[in-house]
Amino acid sequence: MADFEIPELKDYVEVPLPQIGVMESEGPFIAKPDHQEALGFPGELVDDWENVAVNKLGDLANRYRGLRVFLDSCVKCGACTDKCHYYLGTTDAKNMPVARQDLLRSVYRYYHTPAGKVLSKLGMEKLIGARKLTEDVINEWYNYFHQCSQCRRCSVFCPYGIDTAEISMAAREVLDQIGVGQKYCNEIIGKVYKIGNNLGLPEPALADTLEGLEEEIEEDIGVAVKLPLNKKGADILLVTPSADFFAEPHVDGLIGYAKVFHQAGLNWTLSSHASEAGNFGMFIGSYENMQRVTMRIREAALELGVKRIVFGECGHAWRVAYSFLNTLAGPFDFLDPNYPVPQHILEVTHDLIQRGKLNIDASENDHMTLTFHDSCNVARATRMGPKPGGQMTIPREVIKAVCNNFYDMPQGTIGEATYCCGGGGGLLTDDLMEIRVKGAMPRMQALKTVVEENGVTHMAAICAICKSQFSKVIPYYGFTMDQIISVHQLVGDALVFEPDETEKSEESETSED
């Protein structure tokens, strides 16, 4: 099945001894010159790459307090060393969070700290773990900073909150600036600029797809649920990952959102200009690109004259939306001030359930026993609802409202300590299959536990990357890809539509306000 060893699932995750060089490689495919240039980066390795990289690192440390503090403060206590799913799955020493950080920190110490500057003159830089920037170091950065999904699990356990995600982002930004970008991320960002979404799905194709889905829903439930595109004057702009338009099981989630909006009588639309919730600008640590990608959403909201912005199920997209949208593309004073900007689709659905606006028959999902995978970026980088931790409770409350059989995976693998799916942070590409499969091990182990102990049949997810990643890697661990399911598929399947009720809900279109 694979040309590498697939980790064995035990009764619990054993912390391995660190091994040297297990995951040494050339890393993922390198971006071609036109991928690079579309994002404002040099097309290929620049001549004085050493100076450019060192200066860029200094520039970033001056612009990002987090990076500066994180590079200075680590005491090598080791609390993070057994927290990374990639370390647990690969055993490679450089996948321990602090060891990954040290790949960059060693160079920071050499060039940007007084101790490093003095000791390097005396040839004693090794004393403080500092090292000169060489071509080997660049290659090592490129390889190991593309074995980090920026999931922030390590930062939960760090006494100083050092977040390896920030270090990875900085390293990738430095690499992009010297002309060594990753093909997967940079090509995709280029597609967003050119076409509007990560998958390069142009407007006519998108319109066709949505029409096809409308027909499918009507055939299925006998109700004309619409998926409007570029509808001016709609109240809600739904921004969702483009995988929702046709990938499985994502598309069933999109159908779920549409059914919720329909039953609640909400007037919504998708936008072809902002037909992508994902923002890979974050993965590559580029403020400029992240902002440029984000601006499409503001532009679409203004053009369509909507009152609210709602995001579909996606982890890192929700991070950029929840934590950065206001910063990058705000202020959103032109939207309805009665709603947070942006909202998560689960916040909308949860609120409707709370207020009894949805007609639910949870027994529709009785053929399944569910567990829920907290997406790393949702759990540790965002919130839902008014209270801290709502990002954990709201999805569970929604699932429990539409499913009778639900069991959580073991403590320490969910909530703020959730394991990443293994495919986040720009790693969801076939050229990184080995790290993806191995990195999924801790989650797969937790899933195995509830499958065996509680008879769990399906794992629900709220992220396009998690869904794609799990569908792809889950067979390596003896499960089947249809065991991954969108939370809004569960919601959609449990909604009861009566033909006459449909009429009513359409009349009471503004009932939610």
* Smallest separation, CB 380 to other proteins (Å): 5
The span from the CA of 422 to the CA of 414, in Å, is 14
Judged by CB under 8 A, the stretch of 36-44, 94-102, 218-226, 255-263 that binds other proteins is 94-102
Q: Quick one: 321 or 403, whose CB is closer to other proteins?
A: 321
Tell me, residue by residue from 314 to 353, as one string, x for binding to other proteins by CB under 8 A and - for no binding. Answer: --------xxx-xxxxxx--------xxx-----------
Residue 79 contacts other proteins per CB under 8 A: yes
Q: DSSP secondary-structure letter at 299?
A: H
Distance (Å) of CA 262 to CA 331, 337, 446 = 29, 23, 36
**Scanning residues 390 to 429, which ones bind other proteins (CB under 8 A)?**
391-392, 416-417
* Smallest separation, CB 101 to other proteins (Å): 9
Among 158, 270, 310, 368, indicate the residue that binds other proteins (CB under 8 A): 158
Q: Quick one: 209 or 393, whose CB is closer to other proteins?
A: 393
Asked whether the beta carbons of 424 and 150 are under 8 A apart, the reply is yes
* Smallest separation, CB 305 to other proteins (Å): 13
Secondary structure class of 268 (helix, strand, coil): strand
Closest CA to 279 of 342, 193, 343, 395: 193
Among 63, 194, 367, 504, indicate the residue that binds other proteins (CB under 8 A): 63
* Smallest separation, CB 455 to other proteins (Å): 30
Distance (Å) of CA 276 to CA 78, 141, 199, 290 = 39, 29, 9, 13
Name the token pair of 79.
Answer: 């609390």
* Smallest separation, CB 224 to other proteins (Å): 34
CB contact set of 85 (below 8 Å; sequence gap of 6+): 149, 151, 153, 419, 420, 422, 439, 440, 441, 442, 443
Residue 458 contacts other proteins per CB under 8 A: no
Kind plus residue range of the DSSP H or E element containing 328: helix 325-329
- Cα-based torsion angle of the residue sequence 479, 480, 486, 490 in order, rounded to the nearest 10 degrees: -90
Asked whether the beta carbons of 201 and 245 are under 8 A apart, the reply is yes
Q: Quick one: 141 or 245, whose CB is closer to other proteins?
A: 141
Tell me, residue by residue from 250 to 289, as one string, x for binding to other proteins by CB under 8 A and - for no binding. Answer: -------------------------------------xx-
Residue 123 contacts other proteins per CB under 8 A: no
The span from the CA of 40 to the CA of 220, in Å, is 47
Among 293, 381, 460, 474, indicate the residue that binds other proteins (CB under 8 A): 381
Judged by CB under 8 A, the stretch of 188-196, 200-208, 374-382, 401-409 that binds other proteins is 374-382
